[in-house]
Amino acid sequence: MNPLGKAFAYYRERGGLALARRVRHGIWHRERYIIYCKTLSIQEMPPAHQQVLFRTAVANDVPSIASNWPNHLTYVGPDVESVLHTRLQEGDRATVGVCRENTANLVFMAWASKRDYALLTLLGGAPKPAQACVKNVWVAEPYRRQGVAAVGLGHVERAAQDRHIDRLWAFVMPANVASRRLFERLNYRESGTVCFAETLGRKKAMLNQNGFQKRLRLCSTGTVVP
């Protein structure tokens, strides 16, 4: 039995089915994001960076990504490499930046996901392969405020265009002022907000986009139920 099932059984045993159901619908965790969007146009290859080399990650890069980026991946669980391999196999693409003097040193990471439920269902309606969601943008501390993120996202956009993606979305927490300024500087436009509320065994979302509000319930696999 999974942890959620165990918790449900625990409260049912001590307080009956009614208590268990109340607990099931209680909100455990809530996250709010500002939505940014950019329609891609024909662009030249992004400029080179003096200290960082950028490229698209492949399966052989997974061990290096997992070992260089542990603090940013703790939320995926203990088997980080398995999660990263699954991401790549299911269509996600990662852009990595490594130090020119030591290519084993990972200094930039960003994922472009065509399967992210928040993109494909909340924003795009039915799944649209011409769109993707930018996620997990990260720059190593010694390389921040040196233009690494801006150049790296340029490579993400170029790689997206090579896959015939013409629109990118990004979700940013309101308190992350640096990321908000970065996307605005790169001509991503603010396109609304989305709030995810995690309950026992499922997630719910409230989308507020251009004055239009919509409530959705999301199961664990990302399927949306109006």
Whether the predicted pLDDT of 153 surpasses 60: yes
CA of residue 76 relative to chain centroid, distance: 12
Backbone torsions φ then ψ of 199, nearest 5 degrees:
-110, -175
- CA distances (Å), origin 77, targets 13, 71, 222: 29, 11, 18
120 — pLDDT class (breaks 50, 70, 90) = very low
Banded pLDDT at 223 (limits 50, 70, 90): very low
Quick one: average pLDDT of 145-158?
A: 92
| pLDDT for res 150 | 93
Separation between Cα atoms, residue 226 and residue 204, nearest integer Å: 10
pLDDT at 222: 41
- Alpha-carbon distance of 154 to 66, in angstroms, equals 23
Residue 127, Ramachandran bin (φ over 0: left; ψ between -120 and 50: alpha; else beta):
beta
What would the CATH number be for the domain defined by 27-225? 3.40.630.30
Average pLDDT over residues 101-107: 85
* Distance from C-alpha of 49 to C-alpha of 95, rounded to nearest angstrom: 14
The pLDDT > 90 percentage for the chain reads: 18
Average the pLDDT over 47-60 and give the result.
Answer: 87
Q: What residue segments make up the domains of the chain, in order of their start?
A: 27-225
63 — pLDDT class (breaks 50, 70, 90): confident
Higher pLDDT, 213 or 106: 106
Mean pLDDT of the chain: 76
Cα angle value 56/72/184 (rounded, 5°): 70
Residue 140, pLDDT > 80, answer yes
What's residue 16's pLDDT?
66
Please give the share of the chain, as a percent, with pLDDT higher than 70. 62
pLDDT value, residue 102:
85
104 CB-near residues (< 8 Å, 6+ apart) = 64, 68, 98
Does the pLDDT value for residue 177 go beyond 80?
Answer: yes
